[in-house]
Amino acid sequence: MDSEPQVAAYMTRSVTTVDPTDTVGAVREQIDGEDGHNGFPVTRDGHVEGFVTGRDLLAADPETTVAAVMSEETIVADPEMTITDAARVIVRSDIQKLPVVDDGELVGILSNTDVIRSQIERATPEKVAKLSRTLTDLHGVELIQERRQVPLAELVPTQAEVYADELDGRRYELERGLAEPLVVIDAGGDGELYLADGHHRVLAADRLGIDEMDAYVIVPAEPLELGMAKTAAEQGLSSIGDITVIEQDRHPLVETTTQLQG
């Protein structure tokens, strides 16, 4: 499948910012005005120094400067970070907007709405069809696509690790009926179903006691020897219980404004 989209593909490049010397009263007017923003990155000469939210502003005197009330330990992301990892940071940090910084300068902002939009666009039938074409080119066999429920107990994972905090986001989607279908390859012959996409969703579903999930299943006209099957075997992956859950506070492409200023 194609590599996963990066933050740069979904972030908003035109960002309304405020200066640390602006007054709280002036910024409140911006929030109440046509822009309708609930918070702003605080920048000086294009460099992010913090973030100020509506809550910060409501609690402060109108004549106070933004610098006095802004959050300086603002989490920022790199434009090359994957959209899934950015979503994990947003969920874990309980924030609505993630400033995107490249070489110390603000280049965009990613909101939780942008993340939802990106998730909706993933695992589309067109992308599944592209995977089918790739397999056909590699193995010279015809494949068909099916949409069906697959038992989680029959899935062979092809990814050894997942992030613990992203499971919270996938659980949220599952509980609200928003989760995308899995992408599964039925290699034929041994009857095993190889999970090509949806490892976080599967583990979240298993934790919720869900036994089967909706999936796009790619089925070959004859048995295939998949490279991902060999990789799974080499990593000792035979069931979803073999996937390691990584406890990690922060993705390596996430920094704070304090680090950038150091």
> Quick one: CA torsion of 212, 163, 249, 94, rounded to 10 degrees?
-40
**What's residue 168's pLDDT?**
84
CA dist., res. 152 & res. 93, Å (int): 30
Tell me the whole-structure pTM to 2 decimals. Answer: 0.54
The 3-state DSSP class for residue 163 equals strand
Containing H/E element for 254?
strand 254-256
Per-10-residue mean pLDDT of the chain, 262 residues long, equals: 76 92 90 63 93 88 94 91 89 87 93 76 70 83 89 94 85 81 82 88 95 92 82 91 82 69 61
**What's residue 211's pLDDT?**
96
Containing H/E element for 25?
helix 24-32
> Quick one: CA torsion of 74, 79, 83, 88, rounded to 10 degrees?
-20
CA dist., res. 122 & res. 117, Å (int): 9
Q: Are 260 and 48 in contact (CB under 8 A)?
A: yes
Q: Which residues contact 50 (CB under 8 A, 6 or more apart)?
A: 20, 41, 42, 67, 70, 71, 72, 74, 257
**What's residue 100's pLDDT?**
96
Type of residue found at 197: D
CA dist., res. 252 & res. 60, Å (int): 34
Q: Are 239 and 155 in contact (CB under 8 A)?
A: yes
Q: Are 243 and 203 in contact (CB under 8 A)?
A: yes
